[in-house]
């Protein structure tokens, strides 16, 4: 395992310490969360975690959790999540995030809003002085409206790209049947103002700005684990 993967695994395993028996656990999406799923499965198997149930944030995570025999539930059965573990694409010093690199931002935000505690796991490459410096903002739009929303984000000085499958001349379809625009806004001066403008559009289902949602960010750095907590 290369150094970066080792760091991701360390952060993910540290986050799993937040989970106690009997909890409802939100299961995020991505290559860092994968290591958290592995650890949860291991603790269930050896009897150290009992009676936990997970709510997956994507079909991809649902499949992995099934394969690893992590018991799953739905919002029909549980409307509150004790702790969600998820990844992020960019993290600023206020613990605001850009998420959606894996295309699961809509369900991920639903889980985040339903969680008593959102714990983010990442390696240090995700830390950023200001959101937008390193990553475009993924925006989930309904298919019908996508050309209009591409024009709309241009009026906010964004440069949109319709997300396409690698090696396929087809747009990515999300778990909820929508398209994703990756919009480069450059460094975002006021993410709250931008979020509110995006939320005013009927054709925009959700955006990847996760503001004031993370309670804890666990970052594995070369020199060790660093934990940032919401003040
Ligand atoms: C998926 C996400 C992921 O959590 C984010 O892209 C980080 O993924 P990774 O841990 O693979 O870098 O937001 O929609």
User: What is the number of the ligand 1 atom nearest to the C-alpha of 101?
Assistant: 6
Q: What is the reported pLDDT for 105?
A: 98
Give the pLDDT mean for 44-68. Answer: 98
DSSP secondary structure of 175-207: TTS-EEEEEE-SS-S-HHHHHHHHHT-TTEEEE
Determine the number of helices (DSSP H) and then strands (DSSP E) in the chain. Answer: 6, 13
What's the 200 CA to ligand 1 centre distance in angstroms? Answer: 25
Q: Is residue 108 annotated as a catalytic residue, yes or no?
A: yes
What's the 103 CA to ligand 1 centre distance in angstroms? Answer: 8
Element (H, E) at 109: helix 105-113
**Per-residue pLDDT at 72 exceeds 90:** yes
CB-CB contact of 131 with 188 (8 Å):
yes
The whole-model pTM stands at 0.97
Nearest partner of 143 among 110, 172, 178, judged by Cα: 178
Q: Which domains does the chain have, with CATH numbers?
A: 3-128+211-221 (3.40.50.1360), 137-205 (3.30.70.260)
Among protein residues, the one whose CA lies closest to atom 5 of ligand 1:
88
What's the 198 CA to ligand 1 centre distance in angstroms? Answer: 21
Give the pLDDT mean for 108-114. Answer: 98
Pocket of ligand 1 (CB under 6 A): 28-32, 86-89, 99-105, 108
Nearest partner of 201 among 153, 138, 129, 166, judged by Cα: 153
Q: What are the tens digits of pLDDT across the range 197-228? A: 999 999 999 999 999 999 999 999 989 999 99
**Per-residue pLDDT at 167 exceeds 90:** no
């Amino acid at each position: 395992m290369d150094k970066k993967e080792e760091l991701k695994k360390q952060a993910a395993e540290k986050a799993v310490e937040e989970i106690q028996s009997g909890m409802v656990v939100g299961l995020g999406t991505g290559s860092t969360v994968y290591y958290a799923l592995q650890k949860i499965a291991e603790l269930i198997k050896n009897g150290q975690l009992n009676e936990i149930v997970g709510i997956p944030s994507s079909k991809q995570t649902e499949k992995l959790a099934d394969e690893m025999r992590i018991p799953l539930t739905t919002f029909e059965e549980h409307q509150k999540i004790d702790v969600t573990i998820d990844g992020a694409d960019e993290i600023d010093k206020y613990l605001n995030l850009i998420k959606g690199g894996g295309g699961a931002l809509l369900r991920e935000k639903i889980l985040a809003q339903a969680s008593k505690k959102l714990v983010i796991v990442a390696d240090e490459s995700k830390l950023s002085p200001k959101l937008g410096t390193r990553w475009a903002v993924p925006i989930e739009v309904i298919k019908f409206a996508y050309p209009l929303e591409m024009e709309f984000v241009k009026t906010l000085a964004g440069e949109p790209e319709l997300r396409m499958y690698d090696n396929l001349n087809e747009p990515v379809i999300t778990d909820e049947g929508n398209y994703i625009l990756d919009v480069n806004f450059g460094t975002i001066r006021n993410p709250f103002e931008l979020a509110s403008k995006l939320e005013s559009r009927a054709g925009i289902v959700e955006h990847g700005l996760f503001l004031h949602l993370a309670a804890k960010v666990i970052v594995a750095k070369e020199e060790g684990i660093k934990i940032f907590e919401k003040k």
